[in-house]
Amino acid sequence: MKITDAVLLEIKDSVALITIENPPVNALSHNVRFGVKKAIELVMADESVSSIVIYCSGRTFCAGADIKEFGAPMQEPVHSQLHDLMDSVNKPIIAGIHGTALGGGLELALSCHYRVAISTAKLGLPEVQLGILPGAGGTQRLPRLVGPKKALDMVVSGMPIGAKEALDYGLIDKLVDSDLLAAVMLFAREKGVSNNDHIRVRDRDEKLRLVEQSIFSDARKVISRRARGFTAPEYNIRCIEAAVHKPFDEGISIESDLVMELMKGDQARAQQYFFFAERQASKIEGLSKGTKHRPIFKVGVIGGGLMGGGISMNMANVNIPVTMIETSEKALEQGLKTIRNNYESTASKGRISFDIAKQRYELIKGSLDLGDLNDCDLIIEAVFEEMSVKKDIFSRLDSILKQDAILASNTSALNLNEIASATTRPQSVIGLHFFSPANVMKLLEVVRGEKTSDDVIATCMSFAKRINKVPVLVGVCPGFVGNRILHYRQIQANQLALEGVPIEQIDRVLYEFGFPMGPFQMGDLAGLDLGWKADSSNSSDIRDRLCELGRFGQKSGNGFYDYEGRMPIHSDIVSEVIKDCGRLQGIERRDSSDNEILDRCLLPMINEGAKILEEGIASRASDIDVVYVYGYGWPRYRGGPMHYANCLGLKKVIAKLQHYRENTGDDFWTPCQFLVDLADSQSLFT
């Protein structure tokens, strides 16, 4: 029987089977909540039914509340009304779990008396990643099954666990390897006729009594390191504390108050916006769904330095063989050694086994001969940023590579169209801009040249996901999206320093905003000598002067800062250098407030982001935000620069830009026309 367009009810041999059909991920939209509640009400009083199964069709169990419904008042029945009803049913209710049971989906399963899962299933409460907490009883029921310590781990990290681990912790009652539906129906039939009490999860308090109080302070220590600035993790901890110290109903009431408070906050709004921004980024407008993908079985990487090595590891990590090219035996040996050390270090930290580390390492073969790339499907060039060198390599590759091979450059700033012109197949040339360290950073700027073909773009966007990257498609311009915008922040950070603002203050303000580090510490980490040439060094430029002194950043032990290990320490030498550069440039010294520092660093980023949209270099404002959160550490709880601008209000952004324009007389601050037009039409960045 169809209860709603998303819920079916069938009675099979005394078991009521409620099937949710709400593709793609069976989110608990209103028609699902309504349908499940109605179905339960129908069978509660039916004496021919002895047990109830909740099952989902399609690729997964429920992935949680329907996030698209957030922001408007939730239509009844709300999740808790459904769960209260389930708690009042005197027949066993069993969830059959496959795919992922996440958030409200797992909470639905927690309100069942039993859970049967297939061995590939994953279960988790990822609400913290959306800036909220599991507000449908999850924080009160989960610790009753898995114990408060494991529950804390799960809600604070938001990471799901596998079905086997779930069984070990008592989160599920039975694990099956195949035919979940048949297994859960059989399980339900047995429970339906057994004389056992079917204890509700809310009544199972035994694991709550075995708690060491230090788990809460330990969890707080962890979040102060890993989730600095985020509000939701602390609220999740408070709910688990409530589960331990308060009766169930009081815990539920605390959970409900705290989730409402979080829901109203800016962080939840930003994190939920970002959830969709990330998914939107992989969609390419104008590309037909039927676009064929080129197969990629083997990858070639040219350059075995830090970048080339990191790129190669991405492939090996997902079992793709790599040929890595270097120009000398020594460089090749060094490159391979670094990769091996990286894998061994990961294995010694217990993150992968030594066997897996070895398997991965062995997938990377070194060579000194470009000719060895003749069987590769994708070649990624990662040599130093010199146009003539890149063009030479690309023209040589032309005669070596298979006809349908994709030629990618990892350039971070050079003109991809010019690189492509060195080949007879510019349609097969694309930019794949990895971020350093390439085996760690999630962002991949996929750079579309003016002749890059649609199938090459489609292949690279999906290949990026295969190697666990978050791809964003961008157009050709100096620095593409990320570095181009960053350049404008750096201009102001330098200007502030030249005016006499201590670099420590500038770094602190940006750190407190939520970046992992400020611009000067970031410069030291990246290396100040990148692109620096001694013969054209300028004595009034801060970075050039530091390089002249051999202060190249962390790698040389000093840069903008001196270093004790990785700890930055103030340097009087640097203060003097900056003062001298300011004097040589005729810059008047003045103080700046923290607010001014923040405005002067962030507003130019927004203005440049608007120009990028105006020029069509990025297709959506949210793509720029994805670049910034994944590539540059913009705090996710602030959504990204364009979302931040929307929150400030575009008229306010323009007013601030104009204020600096008037104060300085510098065109740098002129608001871009696109931004002005958006604000005039009361629109926002989209």
- Are 465 and 471 contacting, i.e. CB atoms less than 8 angstroms apart? yes
x/- letters, 94..113, toward ligand 3HC (CB under 6 A): ------x-xxx--x------
The answer to whether residue 255 forms part of the interface with ligand 3HC (CB under 6 A) is: no
x/- letters, 385..424, toward ligand 3HC (CB under 6 A): ----------------------------------------
Both tokens assigned to 545: 């002067």
- Near ligand 3HC by CB under 6 A, which window of 133-141, 372-380, 393-401, 613-621? 133-141
Q: Which of 76, 127, 576, 596 is catalytic?
A: 127
Chain residue at closest Cβ approach to ligand 3HC: 103
Please state the closest distance from residue 19 (CB atom) to ligand 3HC, in A. Answer: 18
Q: Would you call the peptide bond into 24 cis, given omega within 30 degrees of 0 as the criterion?
A: yes
**Side chain identity, residue 470:** V
The single residue among 2, 12, 68, 293 that binds ligand 3HC, judged by CB under 6 A, is: 68
The single residue among 53, 94, 121, 130 that binds ligand 3HC, judged by CB under 6 A, is: 130
Please state the closest distance from residue 203 (CB atom) to ligand 3HC, in A. Answer: 21
The answer to whether residue 67 forms part of the interface with ligand 3HC (CB under 6 A) is: yes
Nearer to ligand 3HC, 276 or 384 (CB): 276
The answer to whether residue 131 forms part of the interface with ligand 3HC (CB under 6 A) is: no
Exposure class string for 141-151: b at 16+ Cβ within 10 A, else e: bbbbbbbbbbb
Nearer to ligand 3HC, 129 or 492 (CB): 129
Give Rg (Cα) of the chain.
28
Closest among 127, 148, 339, 112 to 246, alpha carbons compared: 148
Nearer to ligand 3HC, 82 or 405 (CB): 82
> How far apart are the C-alpha atoms of 81 and 84, rounded to whole Å?
5
Residue with tokens 């059909």: 21
Nearer to ligand 3HC, 7 or 401 (CB): 7
Nearer to ligand 3HC, 64 or 143 (CB): 64
Residue 95 makes CB contacts below 8 A (sequence gap 6+) with 53, 54, 55, 61, 101, 108, 109, 112, 114, 115, 116, 184
CB count within 10 Å of CB 158 equals 20
Tell me, by CB under 6 A, how many residues bind ligand 3HC: 24
The answer to whether residue 466 forms part of the interface with ligand 3HC (CB under 6 A) is: no
- Near ligand 3HC by CB under 6 A, which window of 126-134, 326-334, 385-393, 666-674? 126-134
Looking only at residues 18 through 37 of this chain, which bind ligand 3HC when binding is defined by CB under 6 A? 24-25, 27
What pairing do the DSSP bridges indicate for beta strands 100-102 and 122-124? Answer: parallel
What pairing do the DSSP bridges indicate for beta strands 122-124 and 161-162? Answer: antiparallel
Residue with tokens 């297709």: 619
Both tokens assigned to 240: 């688990």
**Three-state DSSP class for 450?**
coil
Please state the closest distance from residue 555 (CB atom) to ligand 3HC, in A. Answer: 38
**Within 13 Å of residue 619, how many CA atoms lie on the same side as its CB?**
16
What are the beta bridge partners of residue 379?
300, 407
What pairing do the DSSP bridges indicate for beta strands 562-564 and 470-475? Answer: unpaired
**Side chain identity, residue 589:** R
DSSP 28: B
Both tokens assigned to 191: 């429970």
Please state the closest distance from residue 500 (CB atom) to ligand 3HC, in A. Answer: 47
Q: Does residue 662 have an active-site annotation?
A: no
Please state the closest distance from residue 103 (CB atom) to ligand 3HC, in A. Answer: 2
Nearer to ligand 3HC, 252 or 672 (CB): 252
Please state the closest distance from residue 246 (CB atom) to ligand 3HC, in A. Answer: 19
x/- letters, 608..627, toward ligand 3HC (CB under 6 A): --------------------
- Near ligand 3HC by CB under 6 A, which window of 57-65, 88-96, 190-198, 534-542? 57-65
**Three-state DSSP class for 76?**
coil
Nearer to ligand 3HC, 27 or 146 (CB): 27
Residue with tokens 């339906």: 192
Q: Does residue 576 have an active-site annotation?
A: no
The answer to whether residue 136 forms part of the interface with ligand 3HC (CB under 6 A) is: yes
Please state the closest distance from residue 662 (CB atom) to ligand 3HC, in A. Answer: 44
Residue 173, φ and ψ in degrees, nearest 5: -105, -25
- Near ligand 3HC by CB under 6 A, which window of 14-22, 127-135, 289-297, 322-330? 127-135
Please state the closest distance from residue 100 (CB atom) to ligand 3HC, in A. Answer: 5
The single residue among 65, 336, 477, 577 that binds ligand 3HC, judged by CB under 6 A, is: 65
Nearer to ligand 3HC, 130 or 180 (CB): 130
Please state the closest distance from residue 78 (CB atom) to ligand 3HC, in A. Answer: 9
Task: Report the 3 state secondary structure along 336-397.
Answer: HHHHHHHHHHHHHCCCCCHHHHHHHHHCEEEECCHHHHCCCCEEEECCCCCHHHHHHHHHHH
Tell me which H or E stretch contains 87: helix 79-87
Tell me which H or E stretch contains 266: helix 266-281
Q: Which of 10, 107, 255, 278 is catalytic?
A: 107
Per-residue DSSP letters for 304-322? -SHHHHHHHHHHHHTT--E
Please state the closest distance from residue 135 (CB atom) to ligand 3HC, in A. Answer: 5
Please state the closest distance from residue 171 (CB atom) to ligand 3HC, in A. Answer: 16
> How far apart are the C-alpha atoms of 522 and 507, rounded to whole Å?
9
The answer to whether residue 262 forms part of the interface with ligand 3HC (CB under 6 A) is: no
Nearer to ligand 3HC, 446 or 581 (CB): 446
Residue with tokens 């931004």: 675
Nearer to ligand 3HC, 63 or 183 (CB): 63
> How far apart are the C-alpha atoms of 627 and 281, rounded to whole Å?
9
The answer to whether residue 79 forms part of the interface with ligand 3HC (CB under 6 A) is: yes
> How far apart are the C-alpha atoms of 597 and 594, rounded to whole Å?
5
The single residue among 43, 101, 127, 523 that binds ligand 3HC, judged by CB under 6 A, is: 127
- Are 83 and 47 contacting, i.e. CB atoms less than 8 angstroms apart? no
The single residue among 221, 279, 293, 351 that binds ligand 3HC, judged by CB under 6 A, is: 279
Residues that bind ligand 3HC (CB under 6 A): 24-25, 27, 63-68, 79, 100, 102-104, 107, 126-127, 130, 134-136, 138, 276, 279
Any idea which residues carry the catalytic annotation?
107, 127
